[in-house]
């Protein structure tokens, strides 16, 4: 069995892949054979046959690691001694971790609000315009780029060279054209955090625009026409008709972007590695657990991140239920 767990060379890895594919085919074939017998099969057997493997894999891939992480957060760096809440006390009291929590709070507040606002304004401005398709495609394109790719692109845009050398970073080249000194955008705290946040806003604004544009199109025409007959237009139409009508979509967009922002890792890791006071919780628990061997502290930070996500999910679910009840 060792060759399955630790395959040697390309041939061994290819063999393991073939075994995994064959095992999947056999298991699925067996399930289909059992549920498709001529005799009548109870509904719960069919449901269990199809949902059972997924439930088992979710339990093994999500539930068990989650419980194990919670358990490790109460133990020391090697997991050999119970330390109680010491790891959580460290995470909330040590100066470097307070900076991490501060940065995470800034990300979660700024990114959803700014991304949603820009997406909403953009959706309203380009709605039913001559260049609507092109304009929407333009702002949605960053969504097709991975977080790592976006981080690399923007790292080049922020690139710094001394004033005596040619600039390869777009922003510093613009500063030089304006007669100003080039700046090290990613080194100066806390401004560097906002320069990283700009990358996330660039990506998420397209997502917000797509969802909100669809919600705006779904506003009944009779509501809009009635408002126009009453003399409502311009900003008043936007404030009193458009925004209240798409409130459920706004909630979904805000909470979805907030959850994604809480988990932000790629941008920070790619652009600064968490240095220069730019680290966030997702990056810090990776650093502590896998780079510095502080498994207990890393697990505590992961649990903190999980706890921060729960209220957002609960609020989102409640809002969706209320919207369904209204309908």
Q: State both tokens at 175.
A: 């500063």
| Model confidence band, residue 8 (pLDDT cutoffs 50, 70, 90) | low
Kindly state the average pLDDT of the residues 304-310: 85
Region 83-94 average pLDDT? 87
pLDDT at residue number 5: 54
The string of pLDDT tens digits covering residues 141-187 is 888 888 899 999 999 999 988 888 888 888 889 988 988 888 888 88
List pLDDT tens digits, range 18-42: 877 888 788 777 777 766 655 666 7
> Which residues have C-beta within 8 Å of that of residue 91, sequence separation ≥ 6?
97, 101, 297, 300, 301, 304
- Among 203-207, 247-251, 315-319, the minimum mean pLDDT is found in 315-319
In the predicted structure, residue 235 carries a pLDDT above the cut 80: no
DSSP state of 219: S
**Residues of the chain with pLDDT > 70: what percent?**
90
Cβ atoms of 288 and 297 within 8 Å: the answer is yes
CB atoms within 10 A of CB 280: 29
| Residues 247 and 176: beta-carbon distance below 8 Å | no
> What is the pTM assigned to this prediction?
0.79
Q: Residue 323: pLDDT band by 50, 70, 90 thresholds?
A: low
Q: What is the DSSP string of 96-162?
A: HHHHHHHHHHHHHHHHHHHHHHHHHHHHHHHTT-TTHHHHHHHHHGGGGS-HHHHHHHHHHHT----
SS3 state at 82: strand
Listed residue (269, 258, 272) closest to 319, CA to CA = 258
Residue 121 has pLDDT above 60, yes or no: yes
Half-sphere exposure of 47 (CA within 13 A, CB side): 3
Q: What is the pLDDT of residues 195-226, one digit of tens each?
A: 999 999 999 998 999 888 888 888 777 877 78
> Over 60: is that where the pLDDT of 326 sits?
no
* Most confident of the following: 110-114, 136-140, 301-305: 110-114
Q: Contact 253/211 with Cβ under 8 angstroms? A: yes
Return mean pLDDT, the chain.
83
Return the pLDDT at 297: 86
3-state secondary structure of 233: coil
Give the pLDDT score at 65: 84
| Alpha-helix runs per DSSP H in the chain | 2-5, 9-35, 43-58, 64-72, 86-93, 95-126, 132-140, 147-157, 170-177, 191-217, 221-229, 235-237, 243-245, 247-262, 266-271, 281-286, 295-326
């Amino acid at each position: 069995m060792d060759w399955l767990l630790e395959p040697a060379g390309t041939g061994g890895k290819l063999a393991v892949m073939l075994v995994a594919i064959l095992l999947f085919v056999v298991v699925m074939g067996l399930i289909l054979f059992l549920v498709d017998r001529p005799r009548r099969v109870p509904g719960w057997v069919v449901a269990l046959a199809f949902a059972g493997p997924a439930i088992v894999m979710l339990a093994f891939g999500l539930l068990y690691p989650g419980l194990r992480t919670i358990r490790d957060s109460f133990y020391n760096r090697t997991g050999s001694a119970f330390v109680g809440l010491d790891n959580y006390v460290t995470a909330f009291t040590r100066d470097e971790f307070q900076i991490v929590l501060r940065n995470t709070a800034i990300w979660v507040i700024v990114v959803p609000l700014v991304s949603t606002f820009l997406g909403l304004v953009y959706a309203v401005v380009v709605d039913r315009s001559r260049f609507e398709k092109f304009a929407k495609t333009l702002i949605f394109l960053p969504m097709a780029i991975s977080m790592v790719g976006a981080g690399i692109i923007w790292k080049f845009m922020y690139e710094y060279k001394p004033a005596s050398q040619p600039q390869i970073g777009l922003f510093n080249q613009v500063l030089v054209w304006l007669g100003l000194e080039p700046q090290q955008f990613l080194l100066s705290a806390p401004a560097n955090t906002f320069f990283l946040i700009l990358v996330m806003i660039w990506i998420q604004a397209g997502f917000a625009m797509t969802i909100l544009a669809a919600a705006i199109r779904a506003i009944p025409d009779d509501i809009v026409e009635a408002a126009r007959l009453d003399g409502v237009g311009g900003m008043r139409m936007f404030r009193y008709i458009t925004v209240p009508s798409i409130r459920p979509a706004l909630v979904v967009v805000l909470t979805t972007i907030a959850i994604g922002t809480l988990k932000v890792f790629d941008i920070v890791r790619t652009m600064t590695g968490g240095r220069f006071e730019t680290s966030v919780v997702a990056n810090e628990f990776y650093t502590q657990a896998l780079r510095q061997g502080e498994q207990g502290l890393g697990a505590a930070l992961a649990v903190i991140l999980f706890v921060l996500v729960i209220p957002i999910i609960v609020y989102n679910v409640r809002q969706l239920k209320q919207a369904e009840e209204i309908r």
